[in-house]
């Protein structure tokens, strides 16, 4: 067995293809689109890489790829945190402790060589794809959410990585009897009237401009959250480009104050993973037609992000956005919405989830160790 750096297009192709082989018999995993996976590692197409130094590693056993890992320094994050935290991600491995140890050692040594003092992950080159599943392996992942076998956690712990933070997932399923509590309907309407708050959908004719508004509000509203560092304008433009084909504008909401200033946002995405099952990551020959015709009939969604600027927090603006999302979806029949990620120690959000009657169904964990 040996570890080596990705050094060619062929190596990168093998790096990207590994999960499709490792998970081919996993009934829960949903193969993401291969083209989207390749894009994550392409500096010309992923603006996050503009502020990252990256190395990719493969584990080979007798010439066969049995594992992979990415080690990287996000210079924007390091500057914002004021702490030399190196990151690792894209971790996939057969159930072999020696293979995972060699991979993680390669990532650790590479980060040490760049003067990092700790190693944190799994962390992704795609927005908000952090951590490993540690609870809730039974249900398929929603759009842009990770999936892994249980033994990955054992491998990371055996290497010396410990819990840094847990991220929680909640669900509201009207087919299982969920109804938004009546008191929230009353309270949020009173709050809207008292503070002059309005909610509007994103404008598809000016999507890039509205995405810039969303990025600005997000950077202000979650700036105190663990793991936060500001998104760039280029990342906002890339987000607008990437989500436009699947976007439901009625589910991308901007809350505005009495003077029309943006004060909050909520982004809920159709869970196209429902349509990707069985395509093995390819749109050809018929996958594109399934996406085109099936998206409007979807009844599963992911509340991908929600935030409120500091001066309007504690005024139920997040509940107003949640209520409006519910109002948009209610006429569509039985629907299921996952809300993720919620930091385990974000008491305001975890209390809001419980008070709204949502059930916790999954837990992700981010690991860290000194190096």
Q: Give residue-wise pLDDT tens across range 321-363.
A: 999 999 999 999 999 999 988 999 998 889 989 989 999 999 9
167's CB contacts (< 8 A; 6+ apart) are: 130, 131, 340, 341, 342, 343, 344, 363, 364, 365, 366
Domains of the chain: 2-167 (3.40.630.30), 172-363 (3.40.630.30)
Question: Among candidates 151, 67, 65, 63, which has minimal Cα distance to 102?
Answer: 67
Other CB atoms within 10 A of residue 344 CB: 18
* Window from 16-20, 156-160, 208-212 with minimum mean pLDDT: 208-212
Other CB atoms within 10 A of residue 58 CB: 22
pLDDT value of position 127: 66
Under a CB-based contact definition with an 8 Å cutoff, are residues 328 and 291 in contact?
A: no
**How deeply is 232 buried, as exposed, middle or buried, from its count of CB atoms within 10 A (0-12, 13-18, 19+)?**
middle
pLDDT value of position 243: 81
**What is this structure's pTM?**
0.93
pLDDT value of position 208: 85
**How deeply is 348 buried, as exposed, middle or buried, from its count of CB atoms within 10 A (0-12, 13-18, 19+)?**
exposed
pLDDT at 239 over 90: no
Q: What is the average pLDDT value for the chain, to the nearest integer?
A: 93
Stated as kind and residue range, the H or E segment containing 192 is helix 182-195
pLDDT at 223 over 90: no
pLDDT value of position 67: 98
The pLDDT tens digits for 22-78 are: 999 999 999 999 999 999 999 999 999 999 999 999 999 999 999 999 999 999 999
Give percent of the chain above pLDDT 90: 78
Average confidence (pLDDT) over 184-207? 92
For 337, list phi and psi in degrees, rounded to 5: -125, 125
Residues 199 and 268: their CA atoms lie apart, in Å, by 14
């Amino acid at each position: 067995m040996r570890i080596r750096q990705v050094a060619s297009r062929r190596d990168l192709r093998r790096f990207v293809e590994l999960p499709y082989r490792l998970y081919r018999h996993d009934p829960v995993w949903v193969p993401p689109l291969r083209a989207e996976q390749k894009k994550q590692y392409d500096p010309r197409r992923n603006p996050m890489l503009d502020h990252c130094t990256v190395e990719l590693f493969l584990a080979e056993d007798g010439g066969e790829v049995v594992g992979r890992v990415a080690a990287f320094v996000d210079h924007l994050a390091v500057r914002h945190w004021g702490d030399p935290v190196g990151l690792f991600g894209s971790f996939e491995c057969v159930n072999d402790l020696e293979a995972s140890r060699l991979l993680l050692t390669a990532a650790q040594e590479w980060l040490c060589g760049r003067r990092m003092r700790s190693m944190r992950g799994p962390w992704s080159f795609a927005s908000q794809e952090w951590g490993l599943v540690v609870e809730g392996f039974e249900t398929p992942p929603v759009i842009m959410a990770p999936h892994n076998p249980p033994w990955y956690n054992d491998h990371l712990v055996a290497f010396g990585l410990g819990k840094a933070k847990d991220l929680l997932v909640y669900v509201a399923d009207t087919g299982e009897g969920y109804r938004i509590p009546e008191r929230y309907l009353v309270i949020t309407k009173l709050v809207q009237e008292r503070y002059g708050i309005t909610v509007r959908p994103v404008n598809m004719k000016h999507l890039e401009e509205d995405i810039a508004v969303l990025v600005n509000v997000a950077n202000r509203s979650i700036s105190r959250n663990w793991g936060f560092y500001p998104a760039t304008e280029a990342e906002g433009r890339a987000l607008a480009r990437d989500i436009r084909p699947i976007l439901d504008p009625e589910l991308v909401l901007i809350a505005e104050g009495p003077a029309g200033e943006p004060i909050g946002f909520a982004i809920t995405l159709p869970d196209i993973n429902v349509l990707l099952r069985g395509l093995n990551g390819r749109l050809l020959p018929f996958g594109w037609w399934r996406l085109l015709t099936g998206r409007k009939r979807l009844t599963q969604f992911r509340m991908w992000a929600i935030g409120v600027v500091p001066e309007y927090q504690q005024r139920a603006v997040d509940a107003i956005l949640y209520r409006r999302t519910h109002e948009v979806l209610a006429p569509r029949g039985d629907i299921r919405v996952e809300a993720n990620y919620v930091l385990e120690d974000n008491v305001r959000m975890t209390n809001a989830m419980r008070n709204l009657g949502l059930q916790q169904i999954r837990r992700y964990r981010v690991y860290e160790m000194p190096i």
